[in-house]
């Protein structure tokens, strides 16, 4: 199964875009795309999944959409499913992406006006052993700009917690937006940021699809009230609530 999954990842990875490739803008600048004036980013989605403590094969996947300026939830939908795909590290998307795609498809089919222009995933993007984490996987399949948010560091390409901690503690880094996570290969795989005041634990931001790391960090910083960005935090809270009601 893993061999087949690796082949699928390699195949999807051919479509991966790791630069800004979106049809909106972040600030009130005069950005144009092929001469067309861009609209400001308005709707930002977050997805998360919670598993039942009573039956680990039962899960609730949740999609929320927040208004970017206010961080108010303007749309939410959840689905309770039985999952028969085993958890294998590095292949999370095969377990979770179909659930999120189902929720996105439902929203799209209803031509919903709040369909997200960008999606945040509780998982990694290119900060992954094969450079294709769940945020990349979902981004390519949904053809949406996506950002991966990791709460724990994926130890790939020589990156370790102690190395990141040293970088975060280095005084000259306090003024920067993020600490680049540069692997032994020399590639920048993501950024570590202290997302809220008084936070000692970084979160790890990585490019999913159709967005650059600089833009991803800007979006993440503007959506953090607490350590975890609000779209993912709200999806997490609501997926847990959904499971409790289900029992």
In terms of Cα–Cα distance, which of 180, 86, 89, 100 is closest to 137?
100
Give, in order, the Cα–Cα distances in Å from 79 to each of 62, 75, 119, 233.
7, 14, 18, 17
pLDDT at residue 175 in the model: 61
* CATH code of residue 222: 3.30.2170.10
Domain count, the chain: 1
Distance (Å, rounded) from C-alpha 49 to C-alpha 238? 9
Residue 132, pLDDT above cutoff 60: yes
**Out of 10-19, 32-41, 182-191, 231-240, least confident range:** 32-41
DSSP H helical segments within the chain, as ranges? Answer: 2-13, 92-109, 134-142, 161-169, 213-222, 230-246
Q: How much is the pLDDT for 169?
A: 77
**CA proximity to 148, closest of 173, 162, 131:** 131
Kindly report, residue by residue over 153-175, the tens digit of the pLDDT.
Answer: 988 999 999 988 888 777 555 56
Distance CA 142, CA 145 (A): 9
Task: Among 24-28, 37-41, 131-135, 144-148, name the one with the lowest average pLDDT.
Answer: 24-28
Span 87-105, pLDDT tens digits: 898 999 999 999 999 999 9
Cα atoms found within 13 Å of the Cα of residue 109, Cβ hemisphere only: 6
What does the block give as tokens for 68? 């970017």
Range of the domain at 194: 2-246
127 phi and psi angles, rounded to 5 deg: -80, 80
> What pLDDT does 28 receive?
63
What is the dihedral sign for C-alpha 24, 73, 147, 85?
A: negative
What is the average pLDDT value for the chain, to the nearest integer? 92
Question: Which is more confidently placed, 120 or 39?
Answer: 120
Is pLDDT larger for residue 185 or for residue 31? Answer: 185
> What residue has token string 């509780």?
122
Supply the pLDDT for residue 197.
Answer: 72
Give me the pLDDT at residue 83, please: 94
Read off the pLDDT band of 106 (50, 70, 90): very high
Question: Looking up tokens 């600048």, which residue turns up?
Answer: 29
């Amino acid at each position: 199964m893993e061999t087949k999954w690796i082949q699928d990842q390699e195949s999807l990875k051919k479509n991966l875009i790791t630069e800004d490739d979106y049809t909106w803008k972040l600030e009130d600048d005069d950005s144009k795309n092929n001469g067309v004036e861009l609209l400001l980013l308005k709707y930002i989605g977050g997805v998360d999944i919670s598993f039942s403590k009573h039956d680990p094969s039962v899960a609730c996947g949740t999609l929320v959409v927040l208004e970017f300026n206010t961080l108010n939830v303007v749309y939410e939908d959840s689905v309770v499913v039985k999952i028969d795909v085993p958890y294998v590290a590095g292949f999370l998307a095969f377990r979770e992406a179909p659930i999120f795609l189902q929720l996105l498809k439902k929203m799209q089919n209803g031509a919903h006006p709040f369909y997200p222009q960008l999606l945040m995933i509780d998982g990694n993007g290119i900060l992954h052993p094969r450079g294709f984490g769940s945020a990349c996987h979902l981004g390519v399949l949904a053809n949406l700009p996506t950002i991966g948010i990791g709460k724990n560091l994926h130890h790939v390409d020589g990156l370790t917690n102690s190395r990141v901690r040293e970088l975060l503690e280095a005084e000259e880094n306090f003024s920067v937006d993020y600490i680049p996570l540069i692997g032994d290969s020399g590639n920048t795989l993501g950024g570590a940021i202290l997302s809220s005041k008084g936070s000692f634990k970084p979160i790890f931001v990585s490019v999913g699809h159709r967005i650059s790391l600089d833009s991803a960090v800007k979006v993440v910083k503007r959506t953090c009230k607490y350590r975890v960005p609000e779209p993912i935090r709200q999806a997490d809270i609501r997926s847990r609530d959904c499971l409790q009601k289900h029992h």
